Amino acid sequence: SYDLTQPLSVSVALGQTARITCGGNNIGGKNVHWYQQKPGQAPVLIIYRDSNRPSGIPERFSASNSGNTATLTINRAQAGDEADYYCQVWDSSTVFGGGTKLTVL
Amino acid sequence: EVQLVESGGGLVQPGGSLRLSCAASGFTFSRFWMSWVRQAPGKGLEWVATIKQDGTEKYYEDSMKGRFTISRDNAENSLYLQMNGLRVEDMAVYYCATVEPVGWYFDLWGRGTLVTVSS
């Protein structure tokens, strides 16, 4: 089965840039999607097919995918960005990363 | 308003059965692939099952094959998950979600329904 590796936690100072990685074997050859989940809420799609933002998602959220690592970047981090973030790919079946807890200091 | 609303969760003993429902509104349900995704307490997301628009194709995560059955009723704008032989490890919040087949991602999510498996 295909494995996706995310750091358990990432911290960022208010207003700074956060980067959350998602590692997988040749993940650059796959479509990577990202979800944000705030405590007690359902996940929300924030990036699809590597770098596309659904309508309503701020431009502060961006992503890239190359080689063995996909990266979600959150510019000008806000307190409201504190959440768990999950990457996801399809490789014979749907695979989620373990999730990364983002803390805004 | 575009939304998915799950129901049917609750407390069930190990080995028991439960049927979850997901009511869709605000969009043309019959045009969408649909999935169930679950999240055990304090854990990450886990895909459960997916069904094609007309119900002719169904896919399951390996550990749930033979125990779980996904189905839909397009006339009722509803998605279902029949769960049999429930185990303690099946305890989770179960979400229904629309699936975008180009890239295979989950576009719209419901708020989830909690399934508790305990004696």
Q: Which residues of A touch B44 (CB under 8 A)?
A: 86, 96-99
- Phi-psi map region of B103: left, alpha, beta (phi>0 left; psi -120 to 50 alpha): left
Which residues from A are below 8 Å from B when comparing CB atoms? 31, 33, 35, 37, 41-45, 48-49, 54, 86, 88, 90, 93-99
Closest Cβ–Cβ partner in A41, A43, A93 for B45: A43
**Integer angstrom CA distances of residue B99 from A46, A95, B3, B27:** 14, 14, 14, 13
Amino acid A92: pLDDT: 85
Give dist(CA B9, CA B113) in Å, integer: 5
Q: Report CB contact under 8 Å: B45, A41.
A: no
Amino acid A91: pLDDT: 87
C-beta of residue A99 within 8 angstroms of C-beta of residue A7: no
Amino acid A80: pLDDT: 96
Tokens 């749930």 — which residue? B64
Minimal-distance CA residue of chain B relative to A30: B103
Give dist(CA A72, CA A82) in Å, integer: 14
Q: Which residues of A touch B35 (CB under 8 A)?
A: 94
Q: How confident is the model over A4-36, as pLDDT tens digits?
A: 999 999 999 999 999 999 999 999 999 999 999
Q: Which of A51, A41, A33, A48 is nearest to A84 (CA)?
A: A41
**Bridge partner list, B79:** B22, B72
Amino acid B93: pLDDT: 98
Determine the average pLDDT of the residues in A39-44. 96
Print pLDDT tens along chain B (119 aa): 999 999 999 999 999 999 999 999 999 999 999 999 999 999 999 999 999 999 999 999 999 999 999 999 999 999 999 999 999 999 999 999 999 988 899 999 999 999 999 99
Q: Which of B105, B106, B111 has the highest number of chain A CBs within 10 A, making it the mutation to test binding with A?
A: B105
Distance of residue A84 Cα from the nearest chain B Cα, in angstroms: 9
Query: Considering chain A, what is the average pLDDT of its residues?
Result: 97
Amino acid A1: pLDDT: 86
Q: Does B27 touch chain A if contact means CB atoms closer than 8 Å? A: no
Q: How confident is the model over A48-86, as pLDDT tens digits?
A: 999 999 999 999 999 999 999 999 999 999 999 999 999
